[in-house]
Amino acid sequence: MKTSFFPILPFLLISLFKPLTCLSAQGEKIVVRIAIADDREEVQLALKGKYKMYDINLNKIIMEGPYMNAKVRATKDAGLQFGKKEIKSDGVKIKVARDSNIYVDNRRFRGDIDIIRKENSKLMVINHIGLDDYLYGVLYHEVSHRWPIESIKAQAIAARTFALYQALQNRNKPYDLRSDIYSQVYGGRTSEKWSTTRAVNLTKGKVLAHNGELLPAYYHATCGGHTEDASNLWKIDLPPLDGVRCNFCVHSPHYKWVKEIPLWKVEKNLSDNGYKTGSISSCRIVSRNKFGRVDKLQIKDDTGMSVLLTGKDFRQIIGPNDIRSTKFEAAVKRGNLVVEGFGWGHGVGMCQWGAFGMSRRGKRAEEILKFYYPGAEITSIDKV
């Protein structure tokens, strides 16, 4: 997962070295920290209802009121500017009354938010939110709210597990998860739907574990016929994250795909990542792993020079929306790199469209999860 690094402010050190059940806890509620904006020149903030704004270092109220609608920017003298009002602080925490609302860039959020001025004079916004409240805003972006409830429940358990795992891994960093595809897509309260909220509530407290420890419950959109071993991508070697054959995602719109990528774009992306080439003349798959995913590929230019890349790196460099998975064929044709592939995502863990297919065949959430995470146990948070 990608993160941004800068000196950790004192408030971020609170609750970082507690066990899981107390991680960033407020009462009995586990609170996670989500970066909903990062490296921004400005953000649009609206507070509708009573609010209090605290200096993040001094924990002192510096502003309060019934309403605010302002663009927030960093000032030149190490402060923050809310509309026309300047504050001599490098960070603020905003709390609202129960019947009030926080909007950031026109998205509505539960919980509290921190707005932090970074060392590069850009802004980071962190949403502090209860774990299940966070999941309410995740599921709609990860699966369709119209899918069968058992597939949505499976997604809720996987997403809860993934969030907790990341919170433990990142507890010494400024935030636990991002709000994009590099963590879990999160849209706040604006993204909540009745069926996805119901799935979170029906699975309350349930997580995936292996040998009594929380499982890094990765998942992806479509595996294209077989999920991937986590050990092929990361330094993770756990039996529940070994690949399994999947015949349930064949009806996914992402099962098979074709992309034509202009060669100039491929050349530019390679150059931007330190791989200098001339005009690309060929692209050849050098090796594949046992599941048919690209292990290494070779790109040659018109001077005869070549670049050898892993399939994982090639996908990251060209872009995950163009190279949707590492299960593909590629050839240079008429000024384009023509890529034909199967599936969308890294391929590890649960195949979301496969979960949909299984639920349509009457499988329950527990059966879906045990299929995609073989050997994993479904347990409660307080037991890991």
Domain ranges of the chain: 10-134, 169-251+346-383, 256-342
- Across the chain, how many H-helices and E-strands are there? 8, 23
Residues 182-220: b if buried by 16+ CB within 10 A, e if exposed:
ebbbbbbbebbeebbbbbbeebeebbbbbeeebbbbbbb
> Where is average pLDDT lowest: 6-10, 81-85, 144-148, 152-156?
6-10
What is the mean predicted confidence (pLDDT) over 299-303? Answer: 96
Neighbour count for residue 231 (Cβ, 10 Å): 14
Q: How much is the pLDDT for 15? A: 36
Residues 6+ apart with CB under 8 A from 36: 104, 107, 109, 113, 125, 126, 127, 179, 186, 188
Q: How much is the pLDDT for 11? A: 34
- Look at residue 301 and tell me whether its pLDDT is greater than 90: yes
pTM metric for this prediction: 0.90
Q: How much is the pLDDT for 24? A: 52
Name the residue type at position 204.
Answer: K
Residue with tokens 């050849």: 284
**Residues forming a β-bridge with 209:** 214, 377
Name the residue type at position 320.
Answer: P
Higher-pLDDT residue of 188, 76 = 188
12-59: per-residue pLDDT in tens?
333 333 345 445 554 458 999 999 999 999 999 999 999 999 999 999
Q: Are 342 and 254 in contact (CB under 8 A)?
A: no
Q: How much is the pLDDT for 206? A: 98
What is the mean predicted confidence (pLDDT) over 278-303? Answer: 97
Q: How much is the pLDDT for 216? A: 97
**Calpha distance 379→383 (Å, rounded):** 7
